[in-house]
Amino acid sequence: MDDKTTDAVGKLRKALETTERARGHLYSFHQLTGTADFELGDAVEALRAAGHEDHADRVQRELLGHDVLSGRWTFQVVEEYDDSYYDVFRDVEQAVRDDLADGERHGLEKRMKEERQRKSDEAR
C-alpha cells in the first residue's frame, strides 16, 4: 500500500477510534444519568421523611423518571446513536480498510513502529 493510502486509511481509523471514545462517554452519560435518577428517588424519600411533601412532590413530578430528551431516556439515545451513526461508521471504515488495506486495522501505526525501530537500530 502506498504512503498516501496508508495515511488516508490511518486517518479514517483514527476518526473511528475517536468515535469509540465518544461512544464511551455517551455510555458514561447514560449510566450517570441513571444513577442520578435513583438518587433522586432517595432524595424524594428523604424530603418526605423530613416533612417536605411539597418539595418531594415537585422533584418526583418534574424530574424522577423523566425523559432526558423529548420522548427518550438515555438508553434510547445510546441505541439511536449506535443504529444511526456508530454502526454505519464502523461498517464504512471496515469496507474502506478491507478494500484498500487488506483489512489491516493499524497500518499507519505498523509503519510508524517499523520506522521508529529502524531508527533506533541505526542509532546503536
pLDDT digits (tens, 9 = 90+) for 16-58: 999 999 999 999 999 999 999 999 999 999 999 999 999 999 9
pLDDT for residue 102: 86
In this predicted structure, what is the pLDDT of residue 121? 86
Using CA atoms, how far residue 118 sits from 7, 114, 124, in Å, is 19, 6, 10
| Confidence category of residue 119, pLDDT binned at 50, 70, 90 | confident
Instruction: Look up the pTM and report it.
Output: 0.80
Residue-wise over 44-77: b if at least 16 C-beta within 10 A, else e? beebeeeeeeeebeebbeeeeeeeeeeeebbeeb
**What are 48-94's pLDDT values in tens digits?**
999 999 999 999 999 999 999 999 999 999 999 999 999 999 999 99
User: Domain map of the chain by residue range?
Assistant: 3-123
